[in-house]
Amino acid sequence: MLDIKFIRENPDIVKENIKKKFQDQKLPLVDEVIALDAENRAAIAEAQELRTQRNKLSKEVGKLMGQAKKDPSKLEEAEAVKAQVKAQADRLAELEQKEVELAEKIRKILLVIPNIIDPSVPIGPDDSCNVEVQRFGEAKIPEFDIPYHVDLMESFGGIDLDAAGRVSGNGFYYLLGDIARLHEAVLAYGRDFMIGKGFTYCIPPFMIHGNVVEGVMSQTDMDAMMYKIEGEDLYLIGTSEHSMIGRFIDQILPEEKLPQTLTSYSPCFRKEKGAHGIEERGVYRIHQFEKQEMIVVCRPEESRDWYEKLWQYSVELFRSLDIPVRQLECCSGDLADLKVKSCDIEAWSPRQQKYFEVCSCSNLGDAQARRLKIRYRDENGKIQLCHTLNNTCVAPPRMLIAFLENNLQADGSVKIPEVLRPYMGGKEFLEKV
């Protein structure tokens, strides 16, 4: 969310940014919110003037009432001043109500005007314009056929989609045996990997209030993703970023406590509306999954460096599991409205012979902090807004697809990389059932 003062002083910059994001339908909102802001500031100024006058007139009434005890003619003058005070009080009540209504209108518009993107972001209308930056590891195609990921998991007796369909419907699954164990091993490895980077491990609430949802994401994303608890002001989180950033709502953090570097575990719940291709069925795009996340709350001057560190952590983690990956820079039209800059880390799929998303790293600047009032006191005692960032650490079962395909052997077994073996009871291979 942008500062109304910034919009007022830089309307052309805000409009150009909207055009870069291919959201021309929002262009009229800039002039509209500036006009509402001017009206609101005028109402505030008039109200303040009335309060000043009221104080003066109230003192005058008191003075005249005192004089009326000796001079009855002053009583009529005092009543006239009282009537003036009453008229001003009525007008002040109108202005105060107007301020509330205008402030709400302004807030609603500010929630949908997109954040200013970083100058380095490539310009394009959608994800087809995302730009590959670099690759890590050799993307190999084995000489043997690789089964579809559900068939691969079934070969280890590791998944039951039919039972999940009967119990919960499409988009759910049972993981069993070594596949379930591998699922937990990857999460535990991701947790310890981030702890080794100096991050604090957290398990947050899995439900959050509506004002926190509004603070961490756009209305469009909220409607597409979030499940609401019927009859309560609670939503199931779509990622632990939501509750982790919400932890700092209305807080003024001591500067020496920054940066806050956190790695959080949670289940995630998403509607995942819309039709998807065959490769996104199975356990690729689902309503419930688990994830280890990276969260950073820092000073503004640190956020660019942290952005670079976070996506590089993803590369390091996936390469330690023998999974080739690439970094893909997200274009302007593919950025959510709160994001300043974002990139995806995509894993190589030998079966599909292409890369697919497994991590998403984002710098949100001060957008979430402004909405949620997450601030810090700098060395001069001035209150400043923090910057917030997030990145996926590991998100099975999608990550398991990349893991199984890239570590599959010709005999149908799956090699367990050395770093993961302690979490798998020392196993070196998964054997077909």
Provide the token pair at 164: 């999940």
Amino acid sitting at position 160: D
Provide the token pair at 37: 């802001």
Residue 222 has, within 13 A of its CA and on its CB side, a CA count of 20
Q: Is 360 among the catalytic positions? A: yes
Q: Which CATH number fits domain 4-110: 3.40.50.1820, 1.10.287.40, 2.30.38.10, 1.10.10.10?
A: 1.10.287.40
Residue 423 has, within 13 A of its CA and on its CB side, a CA count of 21
Count the neighbouring beta carbons within 10 Å of the beta carbon of residue 392. Answer: 26
Helix 11-20 / helix 27-68 crossing angle, nearest 10 deg: 140
Candidates 270, 351, 370, 375; catalytic one: 270
Residues 6+ apart with CB under 8 A from 340: 115, 116, 117, 118, 363, 364, 365, 367
Say if residues 264 and 282 touch (Cβ distance below 8 Å). no
Residue 287 and residue 272: Cα distance in Å, rounded? 7
Q: Is 272 among the catalytic positions? A: no
Candidates 54, 107, 135, 285; catalytic one: 285
Candidates 314, 342, 360, 362; catalytic one: 360
Residue 120 and residue 115: Cα distance in Å, rounded? 14
End-to-end CA distance of the chain: give it in Å, rounded: 53
Dihedral of alpha carbons 280, 281, 283, 288, sign:
positive
pLDDT at residue 275 in the model = 45
* DSSP 8-state secondary structure symbol assigned to residue 124: -
Does domain 127-430 match CATH 3.40.50.2000? no
pLDDT at residue 77 in the model = 59
* DSSP 8-state secondary structure symbol assigned to residue 34: H
What is the residue extent of each domain of the chain? 4-110, 127-430
Candidates 191, 218, 398, 405; catalytic one: 398
Amino acid sitting at position 245: I
Q: Is 377 among the catalytic positions? A: no
Residue 431 and residue 433: Cα distance in Å, rounded? 6
Say if residues 27 and 18 touch (Cβ distance below 8 Å). yes
Question: Tokens 């460096």 belong to which residue?
Answer: 305
pLDDT at residue 106 in the model = 96
Q: What single string gives the DSSP state of each residue in 323-379?
A: --EEEEEPPGGGS-TT-SEEEEEEEEETTTTEEEEEEEEEE-TTHHHHHHT-EEE-T
Q: Is 398 among the catalytic positions? A: yes
Cα dist from 314 to 351, 367, 399, whole Å: 22, 24, 12
Backbone phi, psi, residue 4, to 5°? -60, -35
pLDDT tens, N- to C-terminus, the chain (433 residues)? 899 999 999 999 999 999 999 999 999 999 999 999 999 999 999 888 877 776 666 555 556 555 555 556 555 555 565 566 667 777 788 888 999 999 999 999 999 999 999 999 999 999 999 999 999 999 999 999 999 999 999 999 999 999 999 999 888 999 999 999 999 999 999 999 999 999 999 999 999 999 999 999 887 777 778 899 999 999 999 999 999 999 999 999 999 999 999 999 999 999 876 545 545 567 888 899 999 999 999 999 999 999 999 999 999 999 999 999 999 999 999 999 999 999 999 999 999 999 999 999 999 999 999 999 999 999 889 999 999 999 999 999 889 999 999 999 999 999 999 999 999 999 999 999 8
Candidates 184, 214, 279, 357; catalytic one: 357
Provide the token pair at 387: 């910057």
Residue 27 and residue 293: Cα distance in Å, rounded? 35
pTM over 0.85: yes
